[in-house]
Amino acid sequence: MLISVSACGNVETENKVTLPIKGHFSVIGDIIVETDKISVANIVLPNARAFTYKDGGFYELKRYETEITVPEKYTTYGEDYGKDISLPLQYFISNSTVYAYLNVDRKEMGGFSVEIIPIPQNDECVIMQSLEVLPLYVNLKSGKIASVFDKGKHDFDMSARVTCVSEDGKYAAILGTRLDEMIPESYIINLKNFEIAEIPLPQYNEEYYILMNSYPSVFADGRLYVNYKLMELDVDGGETVGACFYDVKKKKSEALAAPLTDYTNNDQYPYIKIKFEQETGTLKIKNLKDVIDYSFSVYPSNGLWGSSNKTGQYFIGTYFDMPIAGYDENGQPYYENNPQNQKYLTLDVKNQKRIDLTKADNKFNYTTYNGLPCGYRWISETELLITCHDGEEEYIQTVIDVKDAEK
């Protein structure tokens, strides 16, 4: 049964919730949603709770339920099973965007899993796809369902997938292989009229190159970031690795001077790219709109790990301070490898300075909060969600604002 929706602004909430909030939670998009405590893949629980954080408080989001029936013609295993697929779903609405998840234990469905991609600025529709289900455009309120490709001319094989959606919710990127081709290529689809267009790649000319692969990974400020690899026909083993921005409005691609192949995606915000140069002790952050470089000395170190906020200005991370323990017979230093040498730091990358978060809240020391082991995730531009674990239960404990440590 589809439950009717009554919106309060663009965030559908229930009452304000007092802390602590028991349960295991992950920050997914703009919401905090209850996940499996043993999961590292953000598997949302059946009958989950979800929250939003605004104006200094936590508010529980209304949970809605519906059941979507995927017609056999849209499934990749329909001929084997001879029936449609019924998917019970739960969903939440926040910032005019709907977040939907399976509302059933995957064990009950034989391990079936489905990826549901929210469409920004769309509080009714999502994109749904999996290994068993072709990309679908699903209206959770009306129950209407259609293939993403229904209204567009296409000849993709069954592996075609949506990889990301634009910030305004008007476009989606597709990685798909034409039926008469061998290599998946990058395309863009207009989610209003479902027109599909191939993304032109700089440097790619069929007379001189063979396309080995391409991947449209993320939208940033109306541009789609695509990385690709070309093989030169006249050069034995010659390869060109490239990347470009595709401007949606101008319908043109602009090559990047240096592909970001040695950068890693920020786990919460994939348009943020992070790189740590161990040799120089330099942290580099790109938000695909700016380039921010910050140097600080943690050398010798065996690496730096962490995440940034939405713009890349603030970074919180971990590294190992490895003092010289001695020298080998060749006079080369070897380092003390002790887990106690693990260090934590918060950086204002833009202004190139360290921040001591313990000044913002003296109960916090990066590994514990008020004596309990803790974790932290960015929840806003300057705020970190602090969760604690007492050995049995996990809690949403508090929020710490980076700016409070700078006062």
Decide if pLDDT at 385 tops 60.
yes
Whole-prediction pTM: 0.87
Q: Report residue 355 CA to chain centroid gap.
A: 26
Of 196, 251, 203, the C-alpha closest to 227 is 203
- Give residue 82's pLDDT band: very low, low, confident or very high (50, 70, 90): low
Taking the CA atoms of residue 299, residue 300, residue 303 and residue 304 in that order, the dihedral angle to the nearest 10 degrees is -30
Helix or strand or coil: residue 282?
A: strand
> For 95-104, what is each residue's pLDDT tens digit?
999 999 999 8
> For 267-287, what is each residue's pLDDT tens digit?
889 999 999 988 788 899 999
Instruction: Specify the pLDDT at position 9.
Output: 40
Dihedral sign for Cα 268, 190, 142, 138, please.
Answer: negative
Q: Let me know if residue 315 belongs to a domain.
A: yes
Question: What distances in angstroms separate CA 212 from CA 9, 181, 236, 301, one per listed residue?
Answer: 47, 12, 14, 36
Domain span at residue 320 reads: 264-355
Instruction: Specify the pLDDT at position 392.
Output: 81
Q: Let me know if residue 323 belongs to a domain.
A: yes
Token readout for 234 is 């006249």
Token readout for 197 is 């267009």
Decide if pLDDT at 7 tops 70.
no
Q: In angstroms, rounded to a whole number, what is the distance separating the alpha carbons of residues 159 and 150? A: 16
Query: Averaged over 153-163, what is the pLDDT?
Result: 82
Q: Let me know if residue 304 belongs to a domain.
A: yes
Domain count, the chain: 1
Decide if pLDDT at 265 tops 90.
no
Q: Let me know if residue 10 belongs to a domain.
A: no
Decide if pLDDT at 217 tops 80.
yes
Q: Let me know if residue 208 belongs to a domain.
A: no
Q: Let me know if residue 103 belongs to a domain.
A: no
Instruction: Specify the pLDDT at position 2.
Output: 28
Q: Let me know if residue 303 belongs to a domain.
A: yes
Q: In angstroms, rounded to a whole number, what is the distance separating the alpha carbons of residues 234 and 109? A: 51
Q: Let me know if residue 336 belongs to a domain.
A: yes
State percent of the chain over pLDDT 70: 92
